[in-house]
Chains A and B, each alone.
Chain A
């Protein structure tokens, strides 16, 4: 039969560890000679590549001259502005479409399905051109008393670029958000329902914050992609980085040099936003990971400390114990 539930007797002390602890282990770490060899090979290849570019028939001086040119900087600013705004449209639209797609209401879920089918199924290049030429279908915008204008006036290159990129992005973000929402354990929804929360409260307070952990990494990817796709907007006369660079290149006959300028700027922008993504992921990992991943700064400090201590076992604090 069962015993009444009671706690273990508190008298009995755990067996005490007798004597001093044995000497800490100091072993020779496994040597990875392959790593040294491959590092040398990679460095050599990089050197060859750099040598080839340096000796190419390019005027590197003009790359430097035009890098901070006012026109180029304006282009960079336009690239960032249109990408960030388009991503916002994509994010809001994507969450909306994902929630609609999973709705019990057959009308909303079909509308969402149709939208995703249409925008994912056509090239963004074509979409940009269609938005730019919307006046052929709808010559006027008429929002009653609020706003009324000719479409050709309203559909500036910027608007065409923003709508073309943003609405296309929403279709992709919808699928990412849906995957994120579905990754959250059903028990979470049950718990919030049992507390009397409504569907909207459950989505906003419980499910979406947890889905973000799954949504953020591919979203960072999407944003990097979007930054680069924004170069296509030159087709609707939008003055982004690549178009500005080409403008200068055509007049100064430094075509490839200006392409290098644009390339380096795109690399710089994507690098900055990748760093932002790291910290965003770290923020949404709170609560799910017992220990947050170290920031690059923290890792650099650990590396420096562990080198100073000799044996490099990774963690800076743990290594201190072995020091004599």
Chain B
């Protein structure tokens, strides 16, 4: 069984700032993989490397056995063309902290956009599927609303539906509840929990330790660009082995 995500000594720098200093990890298909850690630890950057929104400087990153952003041939790496990178991203859904819905489109249009533009699906079929997906995230009555008319929690659920419309084999969540009012966090986590139950492979950067423990299959704690500790969420969260993990958890729990 090939790992859905496989990172080998992934390094990333922004100018002189080294953000990732050698990340090794594997995400199995169907797994909910949580990444926690203090801000600035590089967890969001790592997530963005997985779909090549950021280019890595060293190491190798594979999604479903394919090298991300490059082609390896005769021991040399060749950069992929923009079009090829776009093709790789089709199978990877991403949900952002700040939703990033398209404000000039209704909820339905947001969800139907990529299937029509990227997959050349017929408009009628894409809209019908989009309606179904919005139904699935509990927003069947909001299809005609613009993002500015929706609450944060509703916007984030539209964003999840939008990512699902491309029928990805992997979903990336970048702190999906961090920009939400506390009372709206639950509705987004409910949708993610359903998704996990349906067997979606998910990599989740989060501060929701309750969610990580309840839904997560694996968890890594990152700090200062390295993986400090990894294991099952229950073990890491209740019985951390490392001092840095302990001090972080004592602050957030």
Interchain CB contact under 8 A, B96 and A191: yes
What's the least CB distance linking A186 to chain B, in Å? 9
Instruction: Identify the closest chain B residue to A290 (Cβ).
Output: B148
Residue B3 lies at the interface, judged by CB distance under 8 Å to chain A: no
Stretch at the interface among B26-34, B58-66, B204-212: B204-212
User: Which chain B residues (144-197) contact chain A, with CB distance < 8 Å?
Assistant: 146-149, 159, 162-163, 166, 172, 183, 185-186, 189
Q: Which residue of B lies closest to A191 (CB)?
A: B100
- What 1/0 mask marks residues of chain A from 1 to 32 whose CB sits below 8 Å from any chain B CB? 11111111000000000000000000000000
- Chain B residue numbers with a CB within 8 Å of A288 are 103-104, 148
Residue of B nearest to A212 (CB): B104
Task: Kindly report which residue of chain A lies nearest to residue B162, judged by CB atoms.
Answer: A195
Most buried by B among A2, A4, A197, A210: A2
B93 at the interface (CB under 8 A from A): yes
A8 adjacent to B183 (CB under 8 Å): yes
A210 vs B105: C-alpha distance when bound (angstroms): 10
A47 within 8 A of B: no
Whether A1 pairs with B253 at a CB distance below 8 angstroms is yes
Contact among B90, B106, B172, B209 with A2 in the assembled complex (CB-CB below 8 Å): B209
Which residues of chain B are within 8 angstroms of A194 by Cβ–Cβ distance? 51, 53, 89, 92-94, 163, 172
- Contact present for B82 and A287 (CB under 8 Å): no
Residue pair B90, A196 in contact (C-beta under 8 Å)? yes
CB-CB contacts of B64-108 with A at 8 A, as 1s and 0s? Answer: 000000000000000000110011011011101010111111100
- Is A4 in contact with B113, judged by CB distance below 8 angstroms? no
- Contact for B53 among A193, A196, A205, A206, CB less than 8 A: A193
Contact status of A5 and B83, CB under 8 A, knowing A188-B102, A190-B96, A209-B104: no
Give the residue of A6, A185, A195 whose beta carbon is less than 8 angstroms from that of B113: A195
For A8, list chain B residues within 8 Å (CB): 183
Chain A residues within an 8 Å CB radius of B159? 191
Complex partner residue of A5 from B87, B89, B172, B189, CB under 8 angstroms: B189
Number of B interface residues, CB 8 Å? 44
Determine the residue in chain B with the shortest Cβ distance to A285.
B104
Contact, CB under 8 Å: B146 / A286: yes
Q: Identify the closest chain A residue to B114 (Cβ).
A: A195
Residues of A within 8 A of B189 (CB): 5
B117 touches A287 (CB 8 A): no
Tell me if B214 counts as interface (CB < 8 A to partner A): yes
Cβ of A137 within 8 Å of any chain B Cβ, yes or no, is no
Q: Which residues of B contact A5 (CB under 8 A)?
A: 185-186, 189, 208, 210-211, 214
In the assembled complex, the Cα of A5 lies from the Cα of B177 at a distance in Å of 13
Closest 3 CB pairs of A and B: A196-B90, A191-B100, A194-B94
Q: Which residues of A contact B (CB under 8 A)?
A: 1-8, 185, 187-188, 190-199, 201, 205-206, 209-210, 286-290
Q: Provide a sorted-by-A list of 30 A–B residue pairs whose CB atoms are within 8 angstroms.
A: A2-B210, A2-B253, A5-B186, A5-B208, A5-B214, A8-B183, A187-B96, A187-B98, A187-B100, A188-B100, A190-B96, A191-B96, A193-B89, A194-B53, A194-B92, A194-B94, A194-B163, A195-B89, A195-B118, A195-B162, A196-B87, A196-B89, A196-B118, A197-B117, A198-B82, A198-B83, A286-B104, A286-B146, A287-B105, A289-B148
Residue ranges of B at the interface with A (Cβ–Cβ < 8 Å): 51, 53, 82-83, 86-87, 89-90, 92-94, 96, 98, 100-106, 113-114, 117-118, 146-149, 159, 162-163, 166, 172, 183, 185-186, 189, 208-211, 213-214, 253
Besides A190-B96, A195-B163, 17 other A-B contacts (C-beta < 8 A): A3-B210, A4-B214, A5-B189, A8-B183, A185-B100, A188-B100, A193-B89, A194-B53, A194-B94, A195-B166, A196-B87, A196-B118, A197-B114, A197-B117, A205-B117, A210-B104, A287-B106
